[in-house]
Amino acid sequence: MIELRQLTKRYGRVTAVDDLSFDVRPGVVTGFLGPNGAGKTTTMRMILGLDAPTSGAATIRGRRYTDLPAPMHEVGVLLDARATHPRRSVLDHLKCLAQSNGIARSRIEEVLGLVGLSPVAHRRAGGLSLGMSQRLGIAAALLGDPEVLMFDEPVNGLDPEGVVWIRTLMRGLAAEGRTVLVSSHLMSEMALTADRLVVIGRGRLLADVELDEFIRASSRESVLVRTPDAEELACRLRDAGAAVRPDAEDGLVVEGTESAVIGKVAMAHGVVLHELTPHRISLEEAYMELTRGSVEFGASGTKPGSDRVEFGAHGGGGR
């Protein structure tokens, strides 16, 4: 279990992490999502004692990272896959880590096999592709057989086979009862990997929710309607209990009723229809809506999103 309580980090006038509180539980994969610059890496660095919080605290199994007697046996971390000695071989990199942490040589062979790097064990770390470096970083994280694992953007640089491999690995680690926190800015990836989502934007908590609940709350349907009598139809549909708003191109977006009903209402009032297109909001769209106001480098003209979204009884958004 990782616990964050009112964790805050300021760099001068920039508040990178703002009063963040959430728990990362064992036995599930927790996806840590947010747009670029949201504060994911800074949060992870504070959990690991690499950056000091301005206020608040982060603990791992009840202790601060710096107070853990054998950190590598308790927490495995992939932060920066390129943070290796470039001239050292894959094997030597792991040997150094194993020796300084009292880990048996046999475990090195084991993790090399697990991440598929046995055939390149003697290759220099500096000559590895980004995908292979990610695998080496993951091997190092697994070396101490820790209960808690944290991966910062682990699919970066991996080919599709590598992406599936790491997804399977993370799900397997969680199934063994471990605590797995994985950061990403891709909702599509987290939808396939995580059981729970923690979403942040501009350092603040936007959602802390089960993936299923996020999907349920996001899966709204709408119907795009084009008609030369938009005002008349909007009025009639509102009378019938639907929510109606204009879309960007003179059409109507109708929620709360289905295409067949819209067609019937139009016919009953002699309204001509040019288009009637059902649309189901995708997870990616729901995520973008949630984080819209928090994107550091968004295109001009985007509307700010709401600060935080509540997700019903199971959601932890407000807790």
Choose between 11 and 277: whose C-beta lies nearer to ligand ATP: 11
Looking at 33-41, 65-73, 191-199, 238-246, which segment touches ligand ATP (CB under 6 A)? Answer: 33-41
With 0-12 CB in 10 A as exposed, 13-18 as middle and 19+ as buried, what is 84? buried
Which 184-223 residues touch ligand ATP, going by CB under 6 A? 185
- Residues 240-265 as b/e (b if ≥16 CB within 10 A, e otherwise) read bebebeeeeeebbebebbebebbeeb
Q: Binding ligand ATP by CB under 6 A: which of 22, 30, 40, 257?
A: 40
Looking at 39-47, 66-74, 205-213, 306-314, which segment touches ligand ATP (CB under 6 A)? Answer: 39-47
Q: Binding ligand ATP by CB under 6 A: which of 42, 133, 218, 294?
A: 42
For residue 313, give Cα distances in angstroms to 83, 277, 283, 319: 42, 32, 20, 11
How many residues bind ligand ATP (CB under 6 A)? The answer is 12
Q: Please, what is the minimum distance in Å from the beta carbon of residue 52 to ligand ATP?
A: 12
Q: What are phi and psi of 158, to 5 degrees?
A: -85, 145
Are 214 and 204 a contacting pair, CB within 8 Å? no
Q: Please, what is the minimum distance in Å from the beta carbon of residue 204 to ligand ATP?
A: 11
Choose between 32 and 311: whose C-beta lies nearer to ligand ATP: 32
Place of tokens 């999907």: 215
Residue 36 in contact with ligand ATP, rule: CB under 6 A: yes
Q: Please, what is the minimum distance in Å from the beta carbon of residue 184 to ligand ATP?
A: 9
Instruction: By CB under 6 A, name the binding residues for ligand ATP.
Output: 11, 14, 16, 34, 36-42, 185
